[in-house]
Structure 1
């Protein structure tokens, strides 16, 4: 069985292929090959017809004499340049998620939320045609953009992918049988609100991995995992990627780097009825579990009722966490640009 999209990843350039053109200064431009069209810059143009039929890794010279290197974009290149409404999961984090969550061929993976589809494509690559990725997204416009981005990259709709518009807590119990999900990936503002349905869906030994942007979210989800009682002790980390300048003897770190993008925290589902071993490391002074607080059950109830609120009652929203939010105008423009109109 041919892997989805593999036929578009090799061989000569064809009509409809995405091609990445790199000029002598390292500037990259991504085009979709269309017969009769031209790629223009302020210094000449390149005819698409001159690229169609050329082998991957060719060079082409524009009308002003500027030479471009033509290559099919890698997945890491594509996700950084594709249309987006929500911030994408960077390739460095997607690679960590696939590896540290041990996403394997044939696995059943639940993802929430989809955003612009960057992580979804890495998950689909990992599970293959025999696996299953169920993605949940609250916003229909984000889901439309993600589906269009994945279709443009793979060249067709991936058979292992199902995208549902709705809330994970409400939708997941009706979408999967209890104990049948191998991996769960949560990229959302308040993942601690989903732990109950995630625990029911995960098979014993299954992995839950969360991607969060701030230390406040990281702390809250870690404590929620511990308090829930059906997960192993969580582990958290972040990855920083720094490129190197390679020019003769001037071999040194680049001045710019991909610094903090988000935190990853992972845990595993315990078998039913299993009590996790007691933590040997004492928490810091001032840590008081809700059920042991001096106010007893009343405090626990208060925390449950305000689980969507941050410190001092602030809402857990994208704006409150410092994320850049696309305007409604931009979203409408993106959807029009990537989603074909419905035939009458």
Structure 2
């Protein structure tokens, strides 16, 4: 397997265990009850079967963005889950060449997705006033991606002075309505705006303030994601699921 030191890899087994790790050719990979030697990784191909010291079989891959976000990033904050992230990028029309803004970088999960989608032709500008959160997000993203299209800004978005700049903007803040007028100015005409809030009273205030700030509220949605047990003889849902994570609100800039 053609890999380099510090590359991010993933081992999985058929019982659902997954581990994301940064490869070091001098360190064994510690697992549930055993370990895998680095030499076995170097001598394998992606998708190969590796037998751990306790006899259990694992498979080695380069992780998808989904798995890296769910199992690999270091979380200093709650993340935007993939179940919401996929819908967000479609609603905001995030694609190659777009300029995307984000207020509330958090642990960087959504920032990473935005960066990969806009590609080297686009740009992501993310605001996070907590320096520890911002530094952690940078490390999380730099481990996975080599793209240089993110501008990290360690300040409150309210202190920014962008005008007619963003194609899309996403906000994950406790009181987002304080920034609606500022983001309106920062948008290009027709810009796609999205935000996530955890409670219904925040929805009420957000709707009122969005309309007062000359946005057209397009949709309010909550997304559920239920997994099924991978057993063809006893096919049924998993016993535990991630329930409520947040409400998504989408709007467009109007004149």
TM-score interval, normalised by the smaller of the two chains: over 0.9
Please tell me whether the aligned partners of residues 76 and 91 of structure 1 are also in contact (alpha carbons under 8 angstroms): yes
1:15 matched to which residue of 2?
Answer: 5
1:208 matched to which residue of 2?
Answer: 193
1:76-98, Cα deviation, whole Å (9 max, x unpaired): 11112211111111011111110
Determine the C-alpha separation between the residues in 1 that align with 2:242 and 2:226: 6
Please tell me whether the aligned partners of residues 7 and 143 of structure 2 are also in contact (alpha carbons under 8 angstroms): no
1:281 matched to which residue of 2?
Answer: none
- Pairing partner for 1:32 from 22, 47, 55: 22
2:156 matched to which residue of 1?
Answer: 167
Distance apart, 1:53 and its partner CA: 4.5
- Relative to structure 1, is the Cα distance of residues 66 and 256 closer, same or farther in structure 2, using a 3 angstrom cutoff? same
Structure 1: runs of 5+ lacking an equivalent: 1-10, 272-344
2:242 matched to which residue of 1?
Answer: 258
Please tell me whether the aligned partners of residues 13 and 54 of structure 1 are also in contact (alpha carbons under 8 angstroms): no
2:232 matched to which residue of 1?
Answer: 248
1:110-159, Cα deviation, whole Å (9 max, x unpaired): 101100000001111111111111000010000000000000011x3x32
Determine the C-alpha separation between the residues in 2 that align with 1:40 and 1:30: 11
- Relative to structure 1, is the Cα distance of residues 15 and 169 closer, same or farther in structure 2, using a 3 angstrom cutoff? same
Please tell me whether the aligned partners of residues 243 and 254 of structure 1 are also in contact (alpha carbons under 8 angstroms): yes
Determine the C-alpha separation between the residues in 2 that align with 1:233 and 1:47: 54
Distance apart, 1:195 and its partner CA: 0.8
2:94 matched to which residue of 1?
Answer: 103
Determine the C-alpha separation between the residues in 2 that align with 1:200 and 1:133: 17
2:65 matched to which residue of 1?
Answer: 75
Please tell me whether the aligned partners of residues 111 and 133 of structure 1 are also in contact (alpha carbons under 8 angstroms): yes
3-state SS of paired residue (2:229): strand
- Relative to structure 1, is the Cα distance of residues 145 and 51 closer, same or farther in structure 2, using a 3 angstrom cutoff? same
Determine the C-alpha separation between the residues in 2 that align with 1:234 and 1:219: 14
Please tell me whether the aligned partners of residues 15 and 52 of structure 1 are also in contact (alpha carbons under 8 angstroms): no
> Mean alpha-carbon deviation: is it higher for 114-123 or for 245-254?
245-254
Determine the C-alpha separation between the residues in 2 that align with 1:67 and 1:105: 39
TM-score, length of structure 2 as denominator length: 0.94
Structure 2: runs of 5+ lacking an equivalent: none
- Pairing partner for 2:177 from 192, 201, 212: 192
1:335 matched to which residue of 2?
Answer: none
Determine the C-alpha separation between the residues in 2 that align with 1:182 and 1:87: 25
1:220 matched to which residue of 2?
Answer: 205
Which 4+ runs in 1 deviate beyond 6 A? none
Please tell me whether the aligned partners of residues 105 and 128 of structure 2 are also in contact (alpha carbons under 8 angstroms): yes
Distance apart, 1:226 and its partner CA: 1.6
Determine the C-alpha separation between the residues in 1 that align with 2:206 and 2:249: 9
Determine the C-alpha separation between the residues in 1 that align with 2:32 and 2:171: 44
- Pairing partner for 1:126 from 117, 120, 137: 117
Distance apart, 1:24 and its partner CA: 4.4
1:323 matched to which residue of 2?
Answer: none
Please tell me whether the aligned partners of residues 21 and 70 of structure 1 are also in contact (alpha carbons under 8 angstroms): yes
Determine the C-alpha separation between the residues in 2 that align with 1:233 and 1:46: 52
Please tell me whether the aligned partners of residues 186 and 209 of structure 1 are also in contact (alpha carbons under 8 angstroms): yes
Please tell me whether the aligned partners of residues 107 and 133 of structure 2 are also in contact (alpha carbons under 8 angstroms): yes
TM-score, length of structure 1 as denominator length: 0.70
3-state SS of paired residue (2:249): strand
3-state SS of paired residue (2:151): strand
RMSD (CA atoms): 1.6
